[in-house]
Amino acid sequence: MVLAKLRRRWSASPGTPSPSPRGGFSLHPTPLDSGLVSGQVHDERGTLLPGASVTIVDRLNQTIGETKTDAYGGFVLSVAPGTHRLSLSAGGYRRFSTRVQVQVNQHSPLGSIGMQSDDSLQMPQPGRYRFDPYHTEIRFVAQHIGLSKIHGEFRRFDGVIDVAPRFEDSQIEVVMEAASIDTGVQMRDDHLRSADFLDVESHPRVLFRSERLTHVRADRWNVSGRLTLRGTTSPVELESVYLGQRQFQGPGFDGDLRVACDAKATLRREDYSVNWQATLAKGIAVVGPTISIELGVQAVME
């Protein structure tokens, strides 16, 4: 009974690869006499850890099952019987590995699994770091007429990260030239630069200034600040992943000390007086109410 319920969590058709709406995993084909492996993952503070990668390999080191933990840190995998190795990995944490014995039509629960922080992920040295324009991208995604998505980026920008001895006290400032918006279609870009949207003649810059950095867990940080667009300033929060610092030698680097991170945020266009409300038949807005912003940053110590 328990085994049947767990099977229904991941697939309506056992043995067939399919995505899960909760965990987002894919299953490798398995025989009907397979067994189940499950567990729940948490961090060093006991907080449930979603999005951790789970992989099971057999004695030949071939992957026979993989998934990601769901919103509750849980996972379930169906694999062929045998003695296998299960590995867990997540950004900012040490890899966890254990041996698991899977038996025919049996459930092998691993229970609660704790991940430990990766001490090798050192915080940046104090100092001022400036965005490297050749290795930094500021992208956005907006929905168009409720069907497709428009992808674009700002081509010209400047950004600095003033890293304090206590990283939580650091400051970040990013300036984007509004006229540098680029979606790959000239007519659309001209419209985005007009008064309907960015109004670049009156407001040539888009500005972000941080106000608070909050450590979430391991490599995850929330950067709270204010974004000024079209002369209107509203609060915004960036969900950030710190990727570490490196010192590079070789052509074009000259021993530069670099830090890197990824960040994302969701903006509501009404918060910035972008009220262009043209609609199509059935009341579908031409441009969706929210815009997703993504940053991939490399910054060099000055």
Residue 202 identity (one-letter amino acid): S
pLDDT at res. 249: 67
d(CA 121, CA 220): 12
Tell me what pLDDT residue 265 has: 96
Strands 257-268, 287-301: pairing is antiparallel
Task: Quote the pLDDT of residue 11.
Answer: 43
Mean pLDDT score, 81-92: 94
Report for 12-26, 30-44, 70-84, 247-261: range of highest mean pLDDT: 70-84
- Averaged pLDDT for residues 286-291: 71
The answer to which of 117-126, 135-144, 150-159, 237-246 has the lowest mean pLDDT is: 117-126
Instruction: Determine the average pLDDT of the residues in 217-226.
Output: 93
pLDDT in tens, 256-270: 899 999 999 999 877
- 194 with 203: CB under 8 angstroms? no
pLDDT digits (tens, 9 = 90+) for 76-85: 999 999 999 9
11 neighbors 25 (Cβ within 8 angstroms): no
Q: How many CB atoms lie under 10 A from the CB of residue 172?
A: 23
Share above pLDDT 70 across residues of the chain, in percent, rounded to a whole number? 81
In degrees, rounded to 5, the angle at the alpha carbon of residue 70 between the alpha carbons of residues 64 and 71 is: 170
Measured CA to CA, the distance from residue 196 to residue 207 in angstroms comes to: 19
Report CA Rg, the chain: 24
Predicted confidence at residue 248, as pLDDT, reads: 72
Instruction: Flag whether pLDDT at 18 surpasses 70.
Output: no
Average pLDDT score over the chain? 85
Domains of the chain from N-terminus onward: 2-114 (2.60.40.10), 127-301 (2.40.128.110)
Instruction: Assess contact for 54 and 43: CB atoms under 8 A.
Output: no
CB-CB contact of 24 with 61 (8 Å): no
Mean pLDDT of 154-164: 97
**How does pLDDT run across 94-141, given as a tens digit for each residue?**
999 999 999 999 999 999 999 988 877 788 999 999 999 999 999 999
- Per-residue pLDDT at 166 exceeds 50: yes
**Which residue is listed with tokens 């503070």?**
45
The reported pTM is 0.72
Neighbours of 201 (CB within 10 A): 11
Q: How many CB atoms lie within 10 A of CB 77?
A: 28
Using CA atoms, how far apart are residues 246 and 258, in angstroms rounded to an integer? 5
pLDDT at 250: 66
Listed residue (99, 84, 90, 72) closest to 28, CA to CA: 84
Q: Which residue has the higher pLDDT, 181 or 277?
A: 181
Q: Give me the pLDDT at residue 255, please.
A: 72
